[in-house]
Amino acid sequence: MAHIEIDAPGTTQLLLGNEAIARGALEAGIGFATAYPGTPSSEIMGTLAPIAKKMGIYAEWSINEMVAFEAASAASLSNIRALSSMKANGVNVIADFLVNLQMTGIRKGLVLVVCDDPGGMTSSNEQDTRPIAKWLNIPMLEPSTAQECKDMTKRAFELSEELGMVCMVRSVTYLSHTRGNVRFGRLPENKKVAHFDDFYNIDDPRQSRYTCGMQFHPYKQSEELLKRFAKAPEKCENSPFNSYRGPEIPELLIISSGICWTYAIEAVSILGLQDRVGILKLGTTWPLPEGLVARYLNKSDKVLCIEEIEPFVERSVMELAASLPPDQPRPTFYGKRSGHVRAWGEQNLNLAIQSIASVMDIPYTSRQSQDLEYRRAAQAVAQTLPARPLTFCPGCPHRASFWAIKIALQLDGRNGFVTGDIGCTAMGMISPGSFQVRTYYAMGGGVGVAGGFGHLGQFGFQQPVIAVCGDSTFFHASIPGLINGVWNQSNFTLAILDNSATAMTGFQPHPGTGITATGDPGKKVSIEALCRSLGIHVEICDPFDLNTTIATLLTMMRDEGPAQVVILRRECELVRERKEKRNPFRVYVNPERCIGESCGCNRLCTRVFSCPGLVWDRDAGKAVIDEAVCVGCGLCADVCPRGAIVKEAL
Amino acid sequence: MHGKASKELQKEVIDKGLCTLCGGCTGTCPYLVVYDGRIVRLHRCDMSEGQCYHYCPRTYMDMDAISRHIFGAPYGEGEIGSVREVFLARSTDQVIHQKAQDGGIVTTLLSVALAEGMIDGAVETKLDEEKNPHGFIARNREELLECAGVSYEPSPVIQAINRLPNETTEKLGFVGLPCHVACLSKMKLSPPTNRANIEHLEPVIGLFCGWTLSHSFHRFLQEHFDLAKAIKFDIPHHPEHSFDVYTPSGKESVDLDEISPYINKACGYCFDMTAEFADISVGSGRAMFKGWNTVILRTKVGAEILDIAKGRNAIEIQPIPDESLANLKRASLDKKKRALKNIISMTGGVDDLLYLGISQHLKEMLLE
Amino acid sequence: MSAEDLKKEPLNVIIAGVGGQGNVLMSFLIGNALVRRGYVVTVFDNYGASQRLGAVASHIKISKEGLQNSPLLHEGDADVIVGIEPIELLRNLSQFGNPEVIAVANLRPVYPIGVISGEVEYPELDEASAAIRRLSAQAWIINATDEALALGNPIYTNVILMGALIGSGVLPLDVMAMEEVLKEQLPKAFEINKVALHRGVDLVKAG
């Protein structure tokens, strides 16, 4: 939607944080960008990919984060600035490579953008990437606004080259997904030439500097790493991204970074404490600008750190305080450790106000408590409003798949269960998927865990296990687990819910789609051919053919043999709808046949099947189709026990 | 009302091992199905009053109320239920004899009723290729013959009734075991909704039953016999001690002791050997009258059909000797006493008889 | 273009709806129009993990100058709330409303799954209307979905409501500003969206 590629220096555009990061990469003159989709990071590649060819950039949706980051490193080693972006969980996937890449260092700027998800609104957890930067001695920049997203990304490339190591930029959901004014800078006119210089030279036979261990003892490489990193603090010391706002001698010093800084600024203003409270904003959260922080620690005897997820800045500042000269007075630290800042979930303005008010020991009267009468009326209304929980989209093939899986497991009757995986299929763990997913951890975790369950037979374990993953997740991390299960003869069924899209994150392509990030044709990788090459039993079912799907699952579960695969294939409804722009069926309820709540149905369609396209008309005591929501998939007609739901082909 | 539905059915019947797999709770709703010898709950139903629970022959049976509805009198204390007449009978139809288990009376009576237009068909049990029993609606003589013979495995035959379209006006006879007949008797006492009119179902012909064999027996059969070739199964009466499978090439037998581990546990709690709420109950003539049926006529409806069959010379009849009748009564009484004993041992006391709604007096009499 | 003074700093807008109703496009168009007029704009589309049918609330904060604001409105601090869906409007009114807030409402429900499954009830539309009026200083309640259907497709609902918002005069934007952005962002569908925009403006002017 936004045009990040326009060459209009000095103009102001409204950009998402993620779009601004992409623009920053353009202004830094990147030649290479890779990513794996993951909320809230996906729009970075989503913005770069469509303009990549025009801008002379190679852009790739990779099969997973590890491969993405490895590929970006290759560009860096060959003198091309490279960007890799991912969500926080992705850093776990690349950790092994990252640790070792730090041992050798890099050549041209390499920036790893990580989007954390405080609160885990669209994630399985709310992990914080900053401790990883500290653990691995990686410089970490934390923007607070869309403008800084752009500026810091650009700066990160310079810093990466100055220090000879990868540099990280950390965003969070509320920054990545917030649009703000961004003033554009120049786009560089650089001619990029790639060459890997450390190839074998017959006259200088030696170990390449881009290798770890062997002649380069790891401890020596660590020493080199620390030397390189030792230059980082002074770079941070003078960074324009660190700033102070407030009185010369504040009663309270707030140290904040990232999006939390905007909460701190507004909270101080709402509390009217601008003359009493100072705010030190850290844009470089690792390493700390120690001199700068120490100077401000000296000015106040109260320090409050406001940040999200880990008390990262808080602990780092306390470490610094411990190393201050003995005659310097120690401030009292407030934050997550003291309980003045909520230690979990995302922060917000209200929480920041509460934190500051409690440390300053001042009362705060919210606007809400001023308008008491209004608030009472509002609360009364709020109580009548039904919540809007997550559900599968109307027409979603996963609704059918989990319906079939549930019935198959019930029929099988041996307390079988589903091990789940990341993506839209994860909704199998809540009501739209009939709570079928019973374990859920990480990309590829479903099949890996299933492989273990499938070996418990010798301990009396007789429960059938169905591992479920989506198509993108299959390619990302499920293949090794499947091969391991086949090799070691583990007894489980892998159901690949192939909707031909990385749907949860916005329909990015993957190897099974045969389309690349830039929309070019790639080699389409066949899931079934790949699985069959393992010499195992592979079936393909349309989940909308409920009876065949149920029968196939039952047969596979009963089979005592090693791992088997069933591909439940039907295109994501949102993708189909975009392509076809019309519904396959006209679906309606024949009220004569609908017995509603009576014994014999008890509203199976609206109460159990729960497609949002079906609505319960309480007054009539019948189900009706909501035509604004129904996409005409017709599955409910097959579920209705009374033939009351009619589907007519269009 | 009982305020119970499928969840309670699961808890009070299925989980306790009382389910006879009659099919009374299946075929009418999407929540319960028969699969692989089990009743399976597919989804959570939150009805406060479920017909599945209500009509189950192993939830509370008010024997007096049912008896009043069918016979016009409270449940008696006789060993074989309400009786108009007991006699021995057999078919005069040789085609039926070839197919039938004993005297061919059931198939003959239904054939006559069909021919006379008294019924449009009959709900029966039929074996599929693999000899799995299932409910079937026979609508002509050929189809009736296809259903002749006995399966010793439980048949969810009531499911076939539950699946009939609401609007059907067909009059159908019914053949089933005591548990099936018990289920139907509950339906007749308080007719179900959203199903076919239960009043259209008569005559109800009950089959004597000591027990059925569980679904795992089917796997035993599959392992020991070529079931596709089997024509008939039989457990001949004392002094024989075998389970016989008839094929075109002859008879194959296994020792009855091999079979007994497969007897449905649920049958140990069954109070009824002679299908006491049927219009006519039919059993074997036993060893003494091989090729004959023992027939208990219980109702006016039953009498009408018998009279017509007799009038058309479709059946021949002889009185039952006192000794045979005494044996029948003793066997039936033994089953009642055994059921009561098992029930009490499950509930831990004489005050809770699970489903069995009998009078205090009868209970005391049986416990003596 | 230099921005005019705002009646309040920052001026806070929420657009509430359900995934698939066009919240994000609407906040994007309004945000862009404001940036063109020289304002500092902060837009956060709060849509969680759902592709379709989840609750969506776009928070827009408008300042004459200065830095980007924090992404979410403070509770009770909205100046105008647009509801593409009635209970989403009420949900946001009850959290972000105040006695001075202005409401622009579309009265077409999209039922949540709990209503469909019968666990909870959807408020009667008369009650919802009354509650919207009770919780706002001024409310424009229109049936934008029906108006959009009259134009041939329910997807115009959001642009009709955008017209209504512009027509209400709460934002420092006129119809011309929106037309410019529509032309730039939706060149192929400009004409019909222009009609939808004006329809929304007229509905507010009329009533």
pLDDT number for residue B231:
85
Q: Which one of A180, A270, A388 has the shortest CB-CB distance to C18?
A: A388
The more confident residue out of B1 and A472 is A472
Q: What is the mean pLDDT of residues A180-198?
A: 93
pLDDT number for residue C49:
63
Question: CA-CA distance, A490 to A453, in Å (whole number)?
Answer: 8
Best mutation target among A407, A436, A602, A622 (most B Cβ atoms within 10 Å) is: A602
Residue A406 near chain B (CB below 8 Å): yes
Question: CA-CA distance, B101 to B174, in Å (whole number)?
Answer: 17
User: How are beta strands A277-282 and A243-245 bridged, if at all?
Assistant: antiparallel
Instruction: Retrieve residue B89's tokens.
Output: 């009978």
Is a pLDDT exceeding 90 seen at residue B100? no
Share of chain A above pLDDT 70, in %: 100
Cβ–Cβ below 8 Å for A604 and B36: no
* Chain C residues with CB-CB distance to A375 below 8 A: 76
* Shortest CA distance from C145: residue in chain A: A628
Prediction ipTM score:
0.95
**Span C11-206 CATH architecture:** 3-Layer(aba) Sandwich (3.40)
CB pairs under 8 A between A and B: 52
* Shortest CA distance from A146: residue in chain C: C68
Q: Which one of B33, B43, B47 has the shortest CB-CB distance to A599?
A: B47
Q: Which chains touch B (3 or more CB pairs under 8 A)?
A: A
Is a pLDDT exceeding 60 seen at residue A136? yes
Question: CA-CA distance, A174 to A8, in Å (whole number)?
Answer: 27
pLDDT number for residue C50:
60
Is a pLDDT exceeding 90 seen at residue B235? no
Q: Which is nearest to C30 in space by CA: C168, C127, C148, C132?
A: C168
Q: Which one of B41, B49, B194 has the shortest CB-CB distance to A410?
A: B41
Is a pLDDT exceeding 80 seen at residue B305? yes
Report angle CA C83, C84, C87 to the nearest 5 degrees: 60
Measure CA of the first residue to CA of the last residue in chain A; give whole Å: 33
* Shortest CA distance from A604: residue in chain B: B30
The more confident residue out of C207 and C70 is C70
pLDDT number for residue C51:
62
Cβ–Cβ below 8 Å for A181 and C41: yes
User: How are beta strands B32-35 and B38-41 bridged, if at all?
Assistant: antiparallel
Residue A599 near chain B (CB below 8 Å): yes
Under 8 Å between Cβ of B99 and B132:
no
* Chain C residues with CB-CB distance to A371 below 8 A: 76, 98-99
Residue C53's pLDDT band (cuts 50, 70, 90): confident
Looking at the structure, tell me whether residues B14 and B79 fall in a common domain: yes
Is a pLDDT exceeding 70 seen at residue C72? yes
Phi, psi of A295 (to 5 degrees): -60, -45
Looking at the structure, tell me whether residues B225 and B250 fall in a common domain: yes
Cβ–Cβ below 8 Å for A410 and B42: yes
- E-state strands within chain C: 11-18, 40-46, 55-63, 80-83, 102-106, 138-142
A262, containing H or E segment: helix A258-270
Q: What is the mean pLDDT of residues A328-334?
A: 91
Question: CA-CA distance, B58 to A455, in Å (whole number)?
Answer: 40
What residue has token string 């009950």? B206
Query: For all residues of chain B together, what is the average pLDDT?
Result: 94
Domain count, chain B: 2
Looking at the structure, tell me whether residues B291 and B227 fall in a common domain: no
Q: Provide the sign of the torsion angle of the four alpha carbons A17, A20, A22, A24, taken in this order.
A: negative
* Chain C residues with CB-CB distance to A14 below 8 A: 28, 31-32, 34-35, 41, 43
Residue A457 near chain B (CB below 8 Å): no
Last residue of a domain, one of B228, B260, B292: B260
Is a pLDDT exceeding 80 seen at residue C27? yes
Cis peptide before A480 (omega within 30 of 0): no
pLDDT number for residue B2:
72
Is a pLDDT exceeding 80 seen at residue A190? no
Looking at the structure, tell me whether residues B141 and B281 fall in a common domain: yes
* Chain C residues with CB-CB distance to A12 below 8 A: 35
Is a pLDDT exceeding 80 seen at residue C2? no
Q: What is the mean pLDDT of residues A421-432?
A: 92
Last residue of a domain, one of B260, B278, B295: B260
pLDDT number for residue C119:
82
**Burial tier of B310 (Cβ tally within 10 Å: 0-12, 13-18, 19+):** middle
Share of chain C above pLDDT 70, in %: 97
In a domain? residue B278:
yes
Instruction: Retrieve residue A184's tokens.
Output: 């554009």
pLDDT number for residue B248:
87
pLDDT number for residue A354:
95
Is a pLDDT exceeding 80 seen at residue A504? no
Best mutation target among A595, A599, A605 (most B Cβ atoms within 10 Å) is: A599
Residue ranges of domains in chain A, CATH in brackets: 12-230 (3.40.50.970), 240-367 (3.40.50.920), 397-579 (3.40.50.970), 583-649 (3.30.70.20)
Q: What is the mean pLDDT of residues B179-202?
A: 95
Looking at the structure, tell me whether residues B220 and B337 fall in a common domain: no
Q: Which is nearest to A341 in space by CA: A263, A277, A246, A249?
A: A263
Residue A394's pLDDT band (cuts 50, 70, 90): very high
Q: What is the mean pLDDT of residues A545-568?
A: 95
Query: For all residues of chain A together, what is the average pLDDT?
Result: 95
Cβ–Cβ below 8 Å for B30 and A641: yes
pLDDT number for residue B149:
81
What range defines the domain where residue B268 resides?
6-214+263-367
pLDDT number for residue A113:
98
pLDDT number for residue A191:
81
Report angle CA C75, C78, C82 to the nearest 5 degrees: 125
What residue has token string 């199998």? A428
In a domain? residue B94:
yes
pLDDT number for residue B1:
59
Residue B2 near chain A (CB below 8 Å): no
Looking at the structure, tell me whether residues B103 and B186 fall in a common domain: yes
In a domain? residue B1:
no
Helix ranges (DSSP H) in chain B = 6-9, 51-55, 63-71, 94-99, 105-115, 141-146, 158-162, 178-189, 215-224, 256-259, 300-311, 322-347, 360-367
Residue B277 near chain A (CB below 8 Å): no
Question: CA-CA distance, A510 to A496, in Å (whole number)?
Answer: 14
Cβ–Cβ below 8 Å for A411 and B50: no
Looking at the structure, tell me whether residues B179 and B227 fall in a common domain: no
Domain boundaries, chain C: 11-206
Q: What is the mean pLDDT of residues A227-236?
A: 95
Is a pLDDT exceeding 70 seen at residue A1? no
Residue C1's pLDDT band (cuts 50, 70, 90): low
Report angle CA A391, A393, A399 to the nearest 5 degrees: 75
pLDDT number for residue A366:
77
For B32, residues 6+ apart whose C-beta sits below 8 A from its C-beta are B6, B9, B25, B26, B39, B40, B41, B42, B52
Residue A391's pLDDT band (cuts 50, 70, 90): confident
Looking at the structure, tell me whether residues B227 and B166 fall in a common domain: no
SS (H, E, C) A624-641: EECCCCCCCCCHHHHHCC
Residue A551 near chain B (CB below 8 Å): no
User: What is B95-163 written as a DSSP string?
Assistant: HHHHH-SSS-HHHHHHHHHHHTTS-SEEEEEEE-TT--EEEEEE-SHHHHHHT-S---S---THHHHHT
Cβ–Cβ below 8 Å for A174 and C31: no
* Shortest CA distance from A407: residue in chain B: B42
The more confident residue out of A497 and A581 is A497
Residue B51 near chain A (CB below 8 Å): yes
Looking at the structure, tell me whether residues B21 and B165 fall in a common domain: yes
Question: CA-CA distance, C8 to B362, in Å (whole number)?
Answer: 88
> To the nearest whole angstrom, how far is the Cα of B96 from the nearest Cα of chain A?
38
User: What is A291-307 written as a DSSP string?
Assistant: HHHHHHHTT-SEEEEE-
Neighbours of A571 (CB within 10 A): 17
Residue A44's pLDDT band (cuts 50, 70, 90): very high
Looking at the structure, tell me whether residues B186 and B124 fall in a common domain: yes
* Chain A residues with CB-CB distance to B44 below 8 A: 608
Cβ–Cβ below 8 Å for A178 and C43: yes
Q: What is the mean pLDDT of residues C169-175?
A: 95
Looking at the structure, tell me whether residues B85 and B147 fall in a common domain: yes
Under 8 Å between Cβ of B87 and B320:
yes
Looking at the structure, tell me whether residues B235 and B207 fall in a common domain: no
* Chain C residues with CB-CB distance to A377 below 8 A: 134-135
**Which region among A154-163, B16-25, B356-365, C47-56 has the lowest average model confidence (pLDDT)?**
C47-56
